[in-house]
Amino acid sequence: MSKAQQPSGETGTPLHAGGVLDTQVSRRTVLKAAGIGAGAAALAVAPVAGASRRTVPAAGAGKANQAKGEIIRLGALEGGLTDGFMPWKQFGQEFVWNWAAQMLLSFAPDGSVLYDLASNHTVSEDGKTYTFTIVDGATWHDGKPVTAADVAFTYNTALKSIAGSNIGGRLLPIVGAQAAFDDTTGATDATGIRVVDDHTLEIELVEPNAQFLPVLVANTRIAPKHVYDGIPIAEYPDQPASTTMFIGSGPYKMTAFTPKESVNLEPHPGYVNGSGYSGVPAAPGVVIRIYNDEEAQILSTQSGEVDFNYVRKPSGDKLELLSSIEGMNAQKSLVGFNIFASFNLLDPSNPLLKDKRVRQALVWALDRDVLVNDVLGGVFTVPSVMNHWIQEWAVSPDLEVYHPQNVEKAKALLAEAGWTPEMASQPLLARHYPPTLDPDVPIIQQYWADIGVTLDLQPLPDDTFFQDFYGDKDPNTPEDDGPAYDVAFVYGFGTLDGSPWGSDEFLASDRVNPAGLNSMRFANPEWDSAFAAGILATTREEQGPHFARASEIFNDELPYIPLYQRVDYSIVSDGLRGPENATILHPAAGGVKYWEWYKEEA
Amino acid sequence: MGRFILRRLLISIPILLGVTIVTFTFANLAPGDPISALMKPGTDLRPEAIEQLRLQLGLDRPFHERYLAWLTQLLQGNLGVETVGRGSIGAALARRIPNTVLLMGTALSVSIVLGVLLGIISAFRQHTRTDAVLTTAVFAGISLPPYLLAMLAIYAFAVLPFQLFGIHLFPANGIKDPASTLPPWLDTLWHLLLPAAVLAFAGTATFLRYTRASVLEAMRLDFVTTARSKGLRERTVRYGHILRNALLPVVTVIGLSLPALVVGALFVETLFSWPGVGSYMIEATRERDYPVIMAVALLTSITIIAANLLTDITYAFVDPRIRHS
């Protein structure tokens, strides 16, 4: 697996490798000296500029925790900041939640548990009942205590679409959840969610499910029940707590929100978490600037207006710009999502596409190094694992990597499968999303033409994408006719953190639309069994072999080809300090101790 | 005059209705809908959740039903809620209009004053070096797309000063610094300067061009020759006769520019992350947020109609020939 930078895990260590910083400081000093004359006019506004950043006053006496340094300034592109603060809504305010909300627990990239609102959890011997202990002393930002009833309320509300939820599917493994999900009035709660006392919550599953913690618990922030008490459930989305002033229990509390402009957060003095931290968080405050435009985001970062910005799959040019910003450093965030080519395994125009040797040949025919480095500007990476998930503990060590390019092998596999040169005159229907053609697709088309497989490229329009890609190409007939493509180039399969959790959504044979997102109609009973066995197992040692077997099946069958792995970038100020591994800084990543982040004074 | 105003107001009603129908039609004909704006490949939106969302947003209803529902709400004074953010559109506009008025008002005021003054100077000094310089500046101001000008300005006055000297000369975007401890008015003024200057540059060029042309045309009219032959001082001829006539068309141009006070400059607001009506419209277009698109289109139409009416009334007062006719 490609490794991003691995900074020191020591507290207060800069979030980047050293060496480069010294060069940058020297250069800036020289330029400053040279610019004194021109800076005369700047001095007129310098007091204005210098006064605009608040610093911490001199430390007072008697406080166990003391904020330090300057306010942390974050930037965020608007996507994800427009959908309100309800924790039961998929496209919520990740950037705010990270600082202002708590989950029961989350998982660090190495799989270790970071307790948050829970101080402990246990699992019954049969693997079906989870008991969570809510940490003592946790309070909401309005001062009310956090109890198990708040967690039960949040999870039950997440089952109810009438409340604005679109994550109900995550809770279906819970006993009684299906009935609650099916009751569109929102009157039914899941019987498997039980409040034992103020600090104890019990959740019973229908059967053991190892995805329960990572997919639900570690992805759902907790909302205050008392804020929604007495309000009709259909009106939950319209409440101020849902739209303008989130009330959480996280290390920082919202104090101001201007929609689509900015968010202000101040330390929550009553902050407590299950990992043993209590008291004010490290920074004197956090502000989030919201951008409506990618160019505005870049320019603001270049102007030094933010200490942290997260940029999704930047183009080569943009990455070059971001990497050269003085006082900032660009850190790779290796995100699991793949750019991929998927195949119609049910009813393609050429039945040979259902032969795995043809699909394997199509991968061997590609020079993905050229595609990544030369065509796409080096902002993706060739995955070292040809599977839906990438974490080492869950993949077989013997997987074929289909790399580097081997055209002769590709031709041999095609011939073995019975592919004839005449078939080049019958192009496969190849759809691409986004509708604007990405630069790599025509190159891939050429690679495949060189081995005798031709494509008819057509876009997947925005308004019919879901039906064409996931749905049935002929919805008027009762039987499934397969998707409206032979091959599709689409962005975004794979799991965010590279773990196996949630993969059945895309690959299990019973998860074809509308039951799931198995676009390819991949139906392999052995894969189904292996994955189901994995989520039934309760420890990683037991789960690993099952997922590894599933990875072998995927690797051999290739229902889709993970072409490249998405690489996002975090642009981080040299002055920003945090103890954890900052290479996975996707806003939804778990295991990040935001309460310990601070920014050194300039 | 009263009957004239009343007649214009009555005609405005079917015009506004027509505008809303056309806007609604084209918005719905455009590819995609709010659901597709939310949908990105790989996101975990189950099909049943998408269908529920579609029902919640009323996207299952026929075109005419949705339009009539919107119109009914409008007649009750309700502009509706944003499809994606669920905020009140009325509240959003109430928040954004002052921001746009501030930006555009500043830019327009500077443009008018500078543009008219420089236009007069350029006309009175035709064929001189001053005129050549000003004419060149006009071409630059009109030719350069505002978006490009905005990017250049941000780069020159925000990015480079920080990159080279570590100072924040001007902010790159926004209407305020959420971390600032400056008095709010000062912080806003600091953020206002660069985008207003960008817009004023283009606006000044426009007014300069119109004023210059208008003054030059007035200078060639017979009454000017008559005035000079009567022995009037050149100063009186210029300011008492030429300018009084030359500025009448300029009033029209100013009037036509007034809607921008409310509607804003779409791309400049977006690039500067200025939270005005223009950037609101851009976001709504990107998100296929029909209620917002309709509300802004309606606001634009009302503003244009009002501005035209105001221009006609002003013209009548300024030009005695129209008043007496």
Residue appearing with tokens 């939950």:
A236
CA distances from B79 to A124, A258, B82, B259, B294 (A): 54, 20, 9, 20, 9
Task: Give the per-residue pLDDT at B180.
Answer: 86
CB contacts, 8 Å: B161 with chain A: 42
Nearest-Cα distance to chain B for A163, in Å, is 11
CB contacts, 8 Å: A167 with chain B: 44
Please check the confidence at residue B291 and state whether its pLDDT lies above 60: yes
* A266 in Cβ contact with A285 (< 8 Å): yes
DSSP A347-413: S-SSGGGGSHHHHHHHHHT--HHHIIIIISTT-EE--SS-SS---GGGS-TT-----S--HHHHHHH
Nearest CA in chain A to B83: A83
How long is chain B? Answer: 325
Residue type at position A557: E
Q: Which two tokens stand for residue A389?
A: 């998930």
Predicted TM-score of the model (pTM): 0.75
Nearest CA in chain B to A262: B178
* A135 in Cβ contact with A272 (< 8 Å): yes
Contact B271 A295 (CB under 8 A): yes
Task: Confirm whether the ipTM is greater than 0.90.
Answer: no
Task: Give the per-residue pLDDT at A64.
Answer: 41
Asked if the C-beta of B270 comes within 8 angstroms of chain A's C-beta atoms, the answer is yes
Parts of chain A with a pLDDT under 50:
1-64, 80-81, 581-584
Q: Which two tokens stand for residue B259?
A: 């809607």
Between A and B, how many residue pairs show a Cβ–Cβ distance under 8 A? Answer: 199
CA distances from A25 to A20, A175, A529 (A): 9, 59, 57
Predicted confidence (pLDDT) per residue in A418-441, tens digit: 999 999 999 999 999 878 788 889
How long is chain A? Answer: 602
Nearest CA in chain A to B150: A296
Contact A42 B161 (CB under 8 A): yes
Q: Please identify among residues 125-184 of chain B the ones whose CB lies closer than 8 Å to any CB of chain A.
A: 151, 154-155, 158-159, 161-182
Asked if the C-beta of B271 comes within 8 angstroms of chain A's C-beta atoms, the answer is yes
- From the list B87, B177, B283, the residue facing A52 with the nearest CB is B177
Give dist(CA B163, CA A331) in Å, integer. Answer: 19
Contact B39 A91 (CB under 8 A): no
* B213 in Cβ contact with B205 (< 8 Å): no
Residue type at position A552: E
- From the list B162, B190, B283, the residue facing A304 with the nearest CB is B162
CA distances from B136 to A182, B141, B208 (A): 70, 9, 11
Task: Give the per-residue pLDDT at A423.
Answer: 94
3-state secondary structure of A174: strand
* A533 in Cβ contact with A372 (< 8 Å): no
Task: Give the per-residue pLDDT at A3.
Answer: 30
Which of the given ranges, A519-533, B276-290, B292-306, has the highest pLDDT on average? A519-533
* A328 in Cβ contact with A94 (< 8 Å): no
Contact B283 A51 (CB under 8 A): no
DSSP A46-86: HHHHHTTS-BPPSP-SS-SS---BBPEEEEEESTTSSS-S-
CB contacts, 8 Å: A185 with chain B: none
CA distances from A512 to A172, A472, B274 (A): 17, 9, 44
Q: Which of A99, A462, A469 would best serve as a mutation to test chain B binding (most B beta carbons within 10 A)?
A: A462
- From the list B48, B170, B272, the residue facing A514 with the nearest CB is B48
Q: In whole angstroms, what separates CA B61 from the centre of its chain?
A: 34
Give dist(CA A491, CA A565) in Å, integer. Answer: 10
Q: Which of A286, A299, A566 would best serve as a mutation to test chain B binding (most B beta carbons within 10 A)?
A: A299
Q: Which of B35, B59, B95, B273 would best serve as a mutation to test chain A binding (most A beta carbons within 10 A)?
A: B273
Residue appearing with tokens 């250049």:
B152
CB contacts, 8 Å: B86 with chain A: 84, 237-238, 243
Asked if the C-beta of B282 comes within 8 angstroms of chain A's C-beta atoms, the answer is yes
Task: Give the per-residue pLDDT at A442.
Answer: 92
Task: Give the per-residue pLDDT at A334.
Answer: 61
- How many Cβ atoms from other residues are within 10 Å of residue B52's Cβ? 17
Of A269-278, A516-525, B151-160, B255-264, the least confident = B255-264
Contact A304 B168 (CB under 8 A): yes
Nearest CA in chain B to A37: B165
CB contacts, 8 Å: A82 with chain B: 84-85, 287
DSSP B153-184: HHIIIIIHHHHHHS--SS-SS-SS-TT--S-H
> Strand A428-432 to strand A487-493: parallel, antiparallel, or no bridges (unpaired)?
parallel
Give dist(CA B45, CA A90) in Å, integer. Answer: 8
* B139 in Cβ contact with B122 (< 8 Å): no
DSSP code at position B88 = B
Q: Which of B38, B52, B89, B164 would best serve as a mutation to test chain A binding (most A beta carbons within 10 A)?
A: B164
Give the residue with greater pLDDT, B255 vs B47.
Answer: B255
Task: Give the per-residue pLDDT at A287.
Answer: 93
Contact B87 A259 (CB under 8 A): yes
3-state secondary structure of A338: strand
Q: Please identify among residues 194-253 of chain B the ones whose CB lies closer than 8 Å to any CB of chain A.
A: none
Task: Give the per-residue pLDDT at A123.
Answer: 92
CB contacts, 8 Å: A505 with chain B: 44
* B162 in Cβ contact with A304 (< 8 Å): yes
CA distances from A76 to A270, A307, A586, B271 (A): 27, 11, 11, 14
CB contacts, 8 Å: B169 with chain A: 42, 45, 49
| Strand intervals (E) in chain B | none
- From the list B95, B165, B174, the residue facing A35 with the nearest CB is B165
- From the list A31, A166, A326, the residue facing B49 with the nearest CB is A166
